[in-house]
């Protein structure tokens, strides 16, 4: 029979092997994810339970040499830096996306688009270094000059949650811009034409029709930005001062040096003893949970949009 399967057919054997090899490769990503979750929880969870989850999360003192591990200041540092970064980055990012898709002349768009791709590729240490040499100087002058009488001495070094937030805002801009732009571009032309035909101005159309229609995508972009910001490490270490403290409530607080969850891990992992290391992995768990929640929200939002 001529259509019958041949046991020793070379190409069929090859096909079978290739399929198995590719299948194993396809499991790498999920296996890695599983291993990452396992090792981080395995290393950090027992410690966290031993130490007391509440004491660990809400403890305000971090003193590894005396076995005191409270990460609340770092949680506060991460959250404030991230919120401030979103406050700065989201409006600008969305504005650039709207400009890029709806207003920019093609010639201008041809400059902006590659610039944003390039910006995404700039290593975080470069942005951090720029922050160290330029931004810290500006903030220091501000803090020691016109604002000096309002700020405590410890808040006048330039190293501050504000510097961190600006750096983070720069780093999340490309993400927010490109994802918002995608969803703005996906708004059907008929919507715009209908609004314009009713006599709306171009801006009214953008403001009342286009942006609301792209809302879930824009929101996803912002939340993804939150994820990036809270997970960012190098650039922020370089400018926030890394002092373990909770900033004063009030506007002065943004000039306070702080430490983030990520910074805590990166700065101390290299020389940590066994228990200290476990405490750092426990810090990683908290970060991991933040990230999982944020990413899940983004994925759900993006599914909705499709």
Partner 1 sequence: MINQEERNVKIAVEQLDFFYGQTHALNSISLDIKENEVFALIGPSGCGKSTFLRTLNRMNDLIPKTRVKGSVQIGGQDIYDPDVDVVQLRKSIGMVFQKPNPFPISIFDNVSYGPRAHGLKNKKELMGIVEESLRQAALWDEVKDRLNDNAMSLSGGQQQRLCIARVAAIKPEVILMDEPTSALDPGSTTKVEALINELKQNYTVVIVTHNMEQAARISDKTAFFLNGYVVETDETNQLFTNPKEKQTKDYITGKFG
Partner 2 sequence: MFKVKPNHMIKVKRNQIFAFTLLSLAAALTVLTLFAIVFYIMLNGFSVISMDFLFDEPRSMGTEGGVLPAILGTIYLVVLVMIIATPIGVGTAVYLNEYMPEGRFKKILRFATELLAGVPSIVFGMFGFIFFVIVLRDYTGGWSILSGALTGVIMILPVIIRASEEALRSVPDPLKEGSLALGTTRWYTIKKIVLPLALPGITTSLILSIGRVIGETAAFLLTLGGSLLFAQSIFDGGRTLALHLYLVAMETGDLQMAMGSGAVLIILILIINFAAAGLFKLLVRRFSV
Binding site for partner 1 (CB under 8 A): 1-6, 9, 11-12
Q: Which is nearest to 181 in space by CA: 119, 107, 116, 84?
A: 116
Helices (H), ranges, 52-153? 53-58, 72-98, 106-121, 124-130, 136-144
Contact flag: residue 184 with partner 2 (CB under 8 A) = no
> What is the smallest separation between the CB atom of 15 and partner 1, expressed in angstroms?
8
Candidate residues 64, 246, 269, 276; the one interacting with partner 2 per rule CB under 8 A: 269
Contact flag: residue 196 with partner 2 (CB under 8 A) = no
Contact flag: residue 134 with partner 2 (CB under 8 A) = yes
Tell me how far CA of residue 299 lies from CA of 80, 107, 177, 221, 288, in angstroms: 24, 33, 17, 10, 16
Contact flag: residue 43 with partner 2 (CB under 8 A) = yes
- Could you tell which of partner 2, partner 1, none binds residue 114, using a CB distance below 5 to 8 A set by kind? partner 2
Residue 241 to residue 259: CA distance in whole angstroms: 7
Candidate residues 100, 139, 218, 244; the one interacting with partner 2 per rule CB under 8 A: 100
Candidate residues 237, 240, 279, 301; the one interacting with partner 2 per rule CB under 8 A: 237
Which residue, 1 or 133, is less far from partner 2 as judged by CB?
133
Kind plus residue range of the DSSP H or E element containing 69: strand 68-69
DSSP SS3 for 68: strand
- Could you tell which of partner 1, partner 2, none binds residue 5, using a CB distance below 5 to 8 A set by kind? partner 1
For residue 206, give every residue at least 6 positions away whose Cβ sits within 8 Å of its Cβ, in sequence order, or none.
98, 102
- Could you tell which of partner 2, partner 1, none binds residue 87, using a CB distance below 5 to 8 A set by kind? none
Q: Which is nearest to 299 in space by CA: 221, 230, 215, 183?
A: 221
- Which residue(s) pair with 237 in the sheet? none
Q: How many CB atoms within 10 Å of residue 181? A: 27
Which residue, 151 or 282, is less far from partner 2 as judged by CB?
282
> What is the smallest separation between the CB atom of 149 and partner 2, expressed in angstroms?
29
For residue 175, give every residue at least 6 positions away whose Cβ sits within 8 Å of its Cβ, in sequence order, or none.
93, 120, 221, 224, 225, 228
Which residue, 194 or 300, is less far from partner 2 as judged by CB?
300
> What is the smallest separation between the CB atom of 306 and partner 1, expressed in angstroms?
19
> What is the smallest separation between the CB atom of 6 and partner 1, expressed in angstroms?
7
- Could you tell which of partner 1, partner 2, none binds residue 6, using a CB distance below 5 to 8 A set by kind? partner 1
């Amino acid at each position: 029979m001529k259509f019958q399967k041949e046991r020793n057919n070379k190409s069929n054997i090859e096909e079978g092997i290739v399929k198995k090899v590719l299948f194993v490769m396809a499991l790498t990503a999920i296996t890695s994810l599983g291993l990452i979750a396992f090792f981080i929880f395995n290393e950090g969870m027992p410690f966290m339970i031993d130490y007391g989850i509440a004491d660990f999360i809400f403890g305000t003192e971090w003193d590894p040499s005396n076995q005191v591990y409270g990460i609340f200041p770092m949680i506060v540092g991460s959250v404030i830096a991230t919120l401030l970064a979103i406050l700065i980055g989201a409006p600008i990012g969305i504005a650039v996306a709207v400009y890029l898709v709806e207003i920019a002349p093609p010639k201008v768009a041809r400059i902006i688009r590659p610039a944003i791709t390039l910006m995404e590729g700039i290593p975080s240490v470069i942005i951090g270094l720029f922050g160290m040499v330029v931004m810290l100087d500006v903030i220091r002058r501000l803090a020691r000059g016109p604002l000096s009488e309002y700020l405590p001495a410890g808040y006048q070094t330039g190293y501050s949650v504000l510097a961190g937030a600006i750096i983070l805002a720069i780093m999340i801009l490309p993400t927010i811009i490109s994802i918002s732009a995608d969803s703005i571009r996906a708004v059907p032309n008929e919507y715009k034409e209908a609004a314009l035909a009713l006599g709306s101005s171009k801006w009214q159309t953008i403001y009342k029709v286009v942006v609301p229609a792209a809302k879930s995508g824009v929101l996803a972009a912002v939340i993804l930005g939150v994820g990036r910001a809270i997970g960012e490490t190098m650039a922020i270490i370089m400018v926030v001062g890394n002092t373990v403290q909770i900033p004063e409530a009030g506007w002065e607080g943004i000039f306070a040096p702080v430490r983030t969850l990520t910074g805590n891990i990166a700065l101390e992992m290299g020389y940590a003893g066994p228990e200290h290391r476990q405490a750092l992995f426990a810090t990683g768990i908290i970060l991991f949970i933040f990230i999982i929640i944020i990413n899940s929200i983004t994925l759900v939002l993006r599914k909705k949009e499709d």
